[in-house]
Structure 1
Amino acid sequence: MTQRSPHPTRTPSTRTRGQRAARAAALLATLSLPLALLAPAAGASASRAAAPAADSAPEGPRLRDVTDKPVGTAVREEVLRRTDDIGARYRQTLAEEFSMVVPESELKFNRLRPRAGAEPARPVAADYNLTLPQPILDAAAANGQEVRGHTLVWYRTNPAWILNTAYTGDQLLEIMRGHIAFTTRRYADRIDTWDVVNEALDADGTLREPCNPDAPAAGAECGRSGALSKASVWQRIGGSEDYTHIIEAFRAARKNLPASAKLYYNDFGIERSGPKADGALDLVKRLLAETGETSDGQTRPLVDGIGFQAHLGVDWTPAYVADFRANMKRFTDLGLETQITELDVGVDLPVTPAKLEVQKRVFHDIGRMCAEEEACTAILLWGFSDRFQWIGEGWPGQYGAATVFDEEFAAKPGYFGFRDGLTLPTPLLTASTGRR
C-alpha cells in the first residue's frame, strides 16, 4: 500500500475566501443565467447575491462565515431558474449561507448524457445536455462558491440507452471510461472534487450484484425499482465481487484530471462501525494500493477521500456521534480526507418542537465533529429548505422536515445548532505568555 501523510497538505479547506472569490471571478464571463437573477443589490458584496429579506434572515453570522472549511449544499437548477418569490428567496439564501454547492442530480449520468451518440464509448458534446448544470455553475461563480462533482458512476440514474441494451462487460467498461473522460475534462476548471463512484456497496459491505441483461425487464428494473433495484449495471464489468469497474473508474478520473483534484468514494450507512463501514474500508484500501498518472504527468494513489453521506434521523444519540467519530478515524488513519457530503436529519411526522430540538442536537454534533477533525475538509447538506428536500418527497406523510430552513426559508432550530457546531471556541490568551 502506498504510504501517505495522515493529514494532506493541500485540501479544499486551505483555500481562503479571497482565493475562492478570485477563482469565481475568473468564471463570471461564462454566465448564462439572466443577470437580474444573479447580480448583487447595490452595496452588497461583489461575490454574493443580495441578502434575504429581513423577515426570514437569521440574526448573527452566516454558516459560510463561521468556519474556514467549505459549508455546502445540494442545489436544484430548476429552482434556481424560477422567477417568482420562491426562486428569489432560494437564490438569496444559497448565496448568503454557503461556500460550496453540489448539483443534486444535474451531473448524474441519465440527466447529463441522455443520448448514446454515434459512438457510445467516444462521446461528443452533442450527446450531452450541457445546459442542465449551467445555472448552478453560474450561480456558484457569482457567489464565490466552490463546486463539488456528484457523481460519475452510480448504480442508479443510468440512461435508458445503457439499461435497455445488453452491452458486454468490456463494452460497458469503455462507455464508462469515455463518459468519465468527457465529463471531468469538460468541468476541470470548475470542479476539483468528484464523487467518482457512489454507493457501490450493499448493506452487508459486499459489492452489489450485477444486473442480468438476459432477465425479463432487466433494463427497466436495474438500478431503478423492483426486485433488481439494488443490482448494478456497472458490476457486469468483471462480475460478482469483482472491483474492476470501481478501480477503472478512479483510474479514468485520475488520468483526466490534474494532481490537485480530489477523488472520493461516497456512500450512505458507513457512518457507524459495522459490516458496510468495514466493506468501505476494504474498498478504499484497494484503491490506495493502486496508482494512476494524472493529466499533468504526476503519479498519485487512485483515491483521496471518503464521503460520508450522513442521511440521519432524530433517533441519533451522542453515543452514535462518538461511534461516527471513531469510525471516521479508521479512514483518516489511512491518510484519507473525509467529507460529510449529504447531511440531513429526517423527522418522522408529525413534526413536534421536541423532535426539532433533537434534530438541532444532531446538526450541532455533526457540525462540531467536522469542525474539530482536521481531515474533515468540507461539510455539505443535501438541500437546505424543507420546501425542496428528497426525504419529504420520497416518503410523503411519513418523514420530512429534514433541513435547516423551513418551507418559507426561515431558520429552524437545526440551523442554529448547526451554526453553533461549526463555530469552534476561540482559544483564550494566556496571561503568562500572551499566546493562545
Structure 2
Amino acid sequence: MNKRLFLLSMRACTLLLLMMAQAACSDKGDGPRPDTEPPEEQPGPSILKEKANFGIGAAIKTAHLAELAYANTVKSHFSQVTAEWEMKMELIWSSATGYNWSNADRVVDFAKDNDLEVHGHTLVWYKSFPGWFKNAGYDSTAFEDRVRAYIQTTVGRYKGRVKSWDVANEIFNDNGTLRSTDCPVFATFNDPIGFYGRCFKYAHEADPDAKLFYNDYSVVLASAKRSAIKRMVSRFKNEGIPIHGIGDQFHYRVTTDKNTIKNGLTDMASTGLLIHLSELDIIVNVQQSESYAFTQAEAQKQADMYRFIVESYESLPADQKFAITTWGVTDKYTWLTDYWHAKEYPLLFDQHYQEKEAYRGFLAGLKNN
C-alpha cells in the first residue's frame, strides 16, 4: 500500500471512531433521538356524547344487553337510554293482580351501572293498555283511579333514577282531531284532554323533579296536529298543569322535505318547552323494496339528512334542547325491518356495530364538533 492510500485509510478510521463515540455519548445524554422517539399519540374517534351540549340517547332492549358489542356501543357513545318496550304499561301491568318490574328494573339498573340517564317511555299510550284493563268495563271514576295508581306507583318506584317521562303518547291524529276510534280513554271521558292533564299531575306528585313530556309522531310535518298540541300545552299552562317538554318521534325519510322539518321545529320551540327528538331514525328504503341495495350513495344521502336534522336542532334556544334519541342502536335490530317487512338501515351503526356515514353526518351537525 502506498503512503497516500495509507493516510486516507487512517483518516477514515479516525472519523469512524469519532462518530461512534458521539453516538455513545448521545445515548447517555439528553440529546434528541429521532429514531427511538415514540410516535405522537393520535386522537381517538369523536364520540357523540362528548361533543353534544344536550342528551344523546338510544332506545335499548334488555334482550340485547347480553351481547357485548351492543352494550359497549351504548355505554361508549350515548349519555341516556329509553326502554324501547320494557317500561310500557302492557309489560309492567300485564296482570290485574300486580306489577312485573323485572324488565324495567334491568333497564334502570343497566343505566345506573354505566352512568347513563333514563328517559321513561311511556306512562299512558292507547296501544299499551293491557287487554284485561281495556275489557274490564270501568266507568270513568274507576278507570282514572286505576291509571292514577299505576302512574304514581311506577313513577314513584323510579323516583330519582328516571329523570324524565313521556306521560302521554300519541293522542292526536295528523289532522289535529283526537284519536277517538282506537283509544279507550276517549270512550270513557267526556273531556279526554282533561284526563291526560291530570295524568301529568299524578306523575308530578310522584316525582316533582322529573321532567314530563307529551310525545307524538309527525309533529314537525303535520301542522294541524302541531297546532292541536300547542292548544293542549296552552290549556295545561293556564290550568297550572306541569308539562315540561314535547317529543317528536322523528321517524322520517331521506326524502322528507327539509324546509318542513326546519319550520316545524321552530314552531314547536315557540311553546317555550323542552324539545326532544325522541325516536330518531332515517328511512332509506322508502319503497320498502326487498331488492333495495344500501349503496354508498344512499349512505351519503342518509348522512346528509342526519346532519341537517342535528343542525336544525342545534339552532333552537340552548335551554330548550333536551336530547336527541335514536330509536335503536344498530341496523341489526331496527324495529323497521319487522314493521315494513323489508330491508332497512336507519341507524348510526351497521350490523357489525361499525360507525356509518350516518354517524359522521350526525357528528358533523353538532356545534362543538
Same fold, judged at TM 0.5 (above) = yes
**Is residue 2:158 matched to residue 1:187?**
yes
Provide Cα deviations, 1:368-425, integer angstroms capped at 9, x if missing partner.
222332112211111020111111121122x511111111111111011011112436
| Structure 1 Cα separation of the partners of residues 79 and 315 of structure 2 | 18
Which of 45, 51, 54 lines up with 1:60 in the alignment? 45
Identify the residue that residue 357 of structure 1 maps to in structure 2: 300
Query: What code does the residue aligned with 1:385 have?
Result: T
Identical counterparts, % of pairs: 29
Return closer, same or farther for 1:113/1:133 CA change in 2, 3 Å cut-off: same
Contact 2:348 2:355 survives alignment (8 Å): yes
Correspondence 1:134 to 2:78: no
Using the TM superposition, give the Cα deviation of residue 179 of structure 1 relative to its aligned residue in structure 2, in angstroms: 0.5
Q: CA deviation at 1:59?
A: 5.6
Residue 362 of structure 1, CA deviation: 1.2
Give runs of ≥4 in structure 1 deviating > 6 Å. none
CA distance in 1, matches of 2:261, 2:245: 20
Partner of 2:198: 248
Matched, 1:380 2:330: no
Residues 170 and 237 in structure 1, CA contact (< 8 A), matched pair in contact too: no
Cα distance in structure 2, aligned partners of 1:392 and 1:155: 23
Q: Trace 1:76-155 onto structure 2 (pairs within 5 A).
A: 76-80=61-65, 82=66, 87-117=67-97, 127-155=98-126
Shift of residue 333 of structure 1? 2.8
- The alpha carbon displacement at 1:79 in A equals 0.8
Superimposed CA distance per residue, residues 34-68 of structure 1 (whole angstroms, 9 cap, x where no aligned partner): xxxxxxxxxxxxxxxxxxxxxxxx96211111112
Q: Is contact 2:226–2:268 with CA below 8 Å preserved after alignment?
A: no
Distance 1:406-1:72 versus aligned 2 partners, 3 A rule: same
Q: Which residue of 1 aligns with 2:246?
A: 306
User: How many angstroms apart in 2 are the aligned matches of 1:100 and 1:255?
Assistant: 24
Which structure 2 residues correspond to residues 30-429 of structure 1 after superposition, within 5 A?
60-80=45-65, 82=66, 87-117=67-97, 127-209=98-180, 231-239=182-190, 242-258=192-208, 260-272=209-221, 274-291=223-240, 301-323=241-263, 327-348=264-285, 349=289, 350=292, 351-373=294-316, 374=318, 375-397=320-342, 400-424=344-368
1:328 and 1:320, CA in 2 relative to 1: closer, same or farther beyond 3 A? closer
1:304-324 residue CA offsets vs partner (Å, 9 max, x unmatched): 11111111111124323322x
Q: Distance in 1 between matches of 2:218 and 2:271?
A: 20
User: Quick one: which amino acid aligns to residue 75 of structure 1?
Assistant: I
**Using the alignment, how far apart are the partners of 1:61 and 1:347 within structure 2?**
25
The alignment's TM-score, normalised by the length of structure 2, stands at 0.82
Structure with greater proportional helix content: 2
After superposition, give the CA deviation of every residue in 1:147-183 in whole Å (9 maximum; x if it has no partner).
0010000010221211222222222111111110100
The one-letter code of the counterpart of 1:153 is V
Instruction: Figure out how many residues of one structure are paired with residues of the other and give that number.
Output: 319
TM-aligned CA deviation for residue 72 of structure 1:
0.4
Deviations 1:3-31 (A, max 9, x none): xxxxxxxxxxxxxxxxxxxxxxxxxxxxx
Alignment RMSD, CA only?
Answer: 1.8
Contact 2:108 2:162 (C-alpha < 8 Å) held by counterparts = no
- Whether contact under 8 Å (2:175, 2:222) holds in the other structure is no
Partners of 1:360 and 1:417 within 8 A in 2: yes
Matches of 1:422 and 1:133 in 2, distance apart? 31
Partners of 1:74 and 1:400 lie apart in 2 by 17
- What is the identity, as a one-letter code, of the residue corresponding to 2:325? L
Computing the radius of gyration over CA atoms, which structure comes out larger, 1 or 2?
2
> Letter of the aligned partner of 1:68 in structure 2?
N
Instruction: Answer whether contact 2:174 2:225 (CA < 8 A) is retained.
Output: yes
Question: By how many angstroms is 1:358 displaced?
Answer: 1.4
Q: Could you state the TM-score of these two structures normalised by the residue count of structure 1?
A: 0.70
